[in-house]
Amino acid sequence: MSAAAIALHGLGKRFGRTHALADVTFDVPPRTLFGLLGANGAGKTTLFSLVAGFLRPTRGRVEVLGTDVAHVSELRGRLSILPQDALFQANVPVLEQLIFFSQLVGRTRQEAEREAFRALELVGLAESAKKNARVLSHGMSKRLGIAQAFLGTPEVILLDEPTAGLDPVNAKAIRELIVRLKTSATLVISSHDLDEIQEMCSHVAILDHGKLVECGEVAALTEAGRKVRMGFPRAMTETELAAVRAVPGVSTVAADPSEAALYLIDLAPTERGPQEIVAAIVQALLATGLVPRSVSEGASLEARFLELTRPTR
């Protein structure tokens, strides 16, 4: 039995001659927010479908909470999923739909109604309980899907593209909701928004054309603690770059290839802590008249992703 919340062992899935996944092996640590990244066609949704037991692997196996998902019925109530394009019955009140889903795991009508109300309150939809799903906005529908995924006390929750198609305001609200709802469960989130994953997740796996190309802690992949990202309204001049390089504790300064006017600053091993060095950098730049627009720890996950998935020529 694996100690991991999810364990993939040599997982492969083929559709005819197409290899959607090939020999994918990694563990999802328990009680983590785990990000799954990959371009369209990388195999993310196929992997989710295999973990949820919707599909059978061509080779290898998946264990969730130590149970082979070939016996997924044994995980009833412990494993939950929000598919990418989750749909609800248009002309049925959302409360009744959540009650139905809750009864599927063995609750009585009274228990299911109580749990459905609780889930709607969690996502801020209590006032919409009697509304039909067709009148909900796209953002509200996403919230409803999350309410369904969080019904009961699932130990593993899969969220496939939970912010896809949302405007920035609603996407931010959904991210904050997910972080707030996370308690003792393990959450696996797929997304095309790499900044979103870097902000939310402690661990990440990157797929490329059905193969695993990287897996580990986000802090390690972005070298958090050793790198600082600084964004500016414009590119730095040579005088400004020299001022940063002259700060004790700064090792190298380089433009981030993922975005203009964004710089990666490597910190050398020193008795000065990262915060003290960053403060000194800001002071040095203020003396030149340049004010940073943003400061964050770690390199860009996007830059690492592009490095790993860049097409070979």
Return d(Cα 126, Cα 149) in angstroms, integer: 16
By CB neighbour count within 10 A (0-12 exposed, 13-18 middle, 19+ buried), where does 9 fall?
middle
| Highest mean pLDDT out of 78-87, 124-133, 294-303 | 124-133
- 6-221: CATH, from 3.40.50.1980, 3.40.50.1820, 3.40.50.300, 3.40.630.40: 3.40.50.300
* Length of the chain as a residue count: 313
Predicted TM-score (pTM) of the model is: 0.79
Domain boundaries, the chain: 6-221, 227-297
The chain-wide mean pLDDT, for the chain, equals 89
- C-alpha dihedral over 198, 38, 171, 296, to 10 degrees? 20
Per residue in 56-87, pLDDT tens? 999 999 999 999 999 999 998 899 998 877 77
Examine the pLDDT at 1 and tell me if it is beyond 60.
no
Would you say 94 and 128 are in contact if contact means Cβ atoms under 8 Å apart? yes
Domain 227-297 sits in CATH 3.40.50.300: no
Joined tokens for residue 233: 């309204």
Report the pLDDT value the prediction gives residue 117, as an integer from 0 to 100: 92
Per residue in 142-200, pLDDT tens? 889 989 998 988 999 999 988 888 888 888 888 888 888 777 799 999 988 888 898 89
Return d(Cα 226, Cα 267) in angstroms, integer: 5
